[in-house]
Amino acid sequence: MKKLLLLILPILLAGCNFSQTEESLQAVSEQKKEAIQNTKSMTTYYMIRHAEKDRTDSKNKNPELNKDGKLRAENWAKVFKEVDFDAIYSTDYNRTKQTAQPTAISQSLKVETYDPENLFNDDFKKKTEGKTVLIVGHSNTTPQLVNKILGSEKFKDIPDNENGAMYILNILPNQSKNIKTLYINQW
């Protein structure tokens, strides 16, 4: 809803000139329809790294979240409260699934697992086209996926001590892309 409002607000403000003719009012109406259509067909990926993992056993290749990680996972659910996800994806590791789970529960969605090597294939693109999707990955796989979607090597691996990076990538109907990077490290 917020995306729709942000797209429509400039059009509505442009329509506030009271001396407009019927033709210009119709043009504003057409622009509004186009903005609504673009919002419906825009694909948005929210991509985050898993929250802080338990590092007490260095031999454990599949650790769970530690106390801070569990708090961060709960915070992600609060951060995403106003985002209506259509799907949530996670790699098949405890730490990524546990990071995604609070958001999935709050939105009545199931966490779907994915192979980071094969995520952005034609099938995935078709399944997520025009949708809003959360993808939880790792310090290396998350920026690699962003780079793959963008078609350029813009982002490097996330530092090991950074668990609050979020990439928001929009793909518009004309296939143009824009990306925002945010860091959510206080809650």
| Pairing label, strands 43-49, 165-171 | antiparallel
Same domain, residue pair 161 and 124: yes
CATH number for the domain that contains residue 73: 3.40.50.1240
Same domain, residue pair 6 and 51: no
DSSP SS3 for 183: strand
DSSP letter string, 55-85:
-S-TT-SS--B-HHHHHHHHHHHHHTTT---
Query: Last residue of a domain, which of 10, 25, 40?
Result: 40
Q: Which domain holds residue 24?
A: 2-40
Same domain, residue pair 34 and 73: no
- The phi, psi pair for 134, rounded to 5°, reads -100, 130
Same domain, residue pair 122 and 171: yes
- Return all residues near 24 (Cβ < 8 A) that are at least 6 apart: 17
Same domain, residue pair 85 and 130: yes
Same domain, residue pair 177 and 150: yes
For residue 118, the model assigns a pLDDT of: 87
Question: Is it the case that residue 51 has pLDDT exceeding 90?
Answer: yes
In terms of C-beta density within 10 A (0-12 exposed, 13-18 middle, 19 or more buried), how is residue 109 classed?
A: middle
More confident residue, 127 or 7: 127
For residue 119, the model assigns a pLDDT of: 85
Same domain, residue pair 168 and 114: yes
Same domain, residue pair 29 and 49: no
Question: Is it the case that residue 19 has pLDDT exceeding 70?
Answer: no
Give the global pTM: 0.79
Worst-scoring range by mean pLDDT, 46-50, 102-106, 129-133, 183-187?
183-187
Dist. CA 114–CA 19, nearest whole Å: 55
